[in-house]
A and B are shown apart, each in its own frame.
Chain A
Amino acid sequence: EAGVVQSPRYKIIEKKQPVAFWCNPISGHNTLYWYLQNLGQGPELLIRYENEEAVDDSQLPKDRFSAERLKGVDSTLKIQPAELGDSAVYLCASSLNGGASNNEQFFGPGTRLTVL
């Protein structure tokens, strides 16, 4: 069974440029998460989707970040414009059914963003 797929794995951009990250969750997983992981820190949740609905986006900086999951399967996270402080690893995770106490989140390898 394929795991969570993310692309690109690495991205280097100039500040003020836009950037987008793509995630394809495990087949059949209804819940999708985007996390931000700064260097030397643990991941922090940015947004959670149940199917195509964003049910928790309280930590998403909405002035420059946006996300979509139009068909309830794959998802795109966008930053426009990027700032130097956005350099980090962006992780995508999926789970079968968010909310269950024994639900496991499966993580992708992440996209490492460097903003110059």
Chain B
Amino acid sequence: AQSVTQLDSHVSVSEGTPVLLRCNYSSSYSPSLFWYVQHPNKGLQLLLKYTSAATLVKGINGFEAEFKKSETSFHLTKPSAHMSDAAEYFCVVSPFGNEKLTFGTGTRLTIIP
């Protein structure tokens, strides 16, 4: 069985300040982990993915995430928030080598001007 828990349903940060979106996972297998972003009226877009290579993963738009097996976490960070980062973010898990994705419930990121 596999699941992800996104610890915050809503995060608000000021423009130019760091972003931290938290995700814990549970998986019976060595997992692949992903972060997707969903802007209003647009399709889900892959930000980054971890597939058992480097534990620090860099993605698009300045985002990165660190896989910590001891903490079963895969938190998403960005050093400086931009207004265009306002969106819904989903943490996703799948068994390694399997394309079946299990999504978290999402974190809505609001950027304060």
Instruction: Give A110's nearest chain B residue, CB to CB.
Output: B43
- Which positions in B face A, CB cutoff 8 Å? 32, 36, 41-46, 49, 51, 90, 92, 96-101, 103-106
**Which residues on the A side are within 8 Å of B98 (C-beta)?**
99, 101
- A101 CA to B52 CA, complexed, in Å: 10
The answer to whether A101 and B101 touch across the interface, beta carbons within 8 angstroms, is no
- A28 CA to B98 CA, complexed, in Å: 20
A109 to chain B, nearest CB (A): 5
A-B contact count (CB 8 A): 58
The answer to whether B99 and A98 touch across the interface, beta carbons within 8 angstroms, is yes
Mostly helix, strand, loop or mixed at chain B's interface?
Answer: loop
Instruction: Give A44's nearest chain B residue, CB to CB.
Output: B103
The answer to whether A104 and B44 touch across the interface, beta carbons within 8 angstroms, is no
Contact (A106, B106) CB under 8 Å given A45-B100, A99-B98, A101-B51? no
A contact residues, total (Cβ < 8 Å): 28
Instruction: Give B41's nearest chain A residue, CB to CB.
Output: A109
Partner of B99, one of A31, A40, A41, A44: A31
The answer to whether B103 and A99 touch across the interface, beta carbons within 8 angstroms, is no
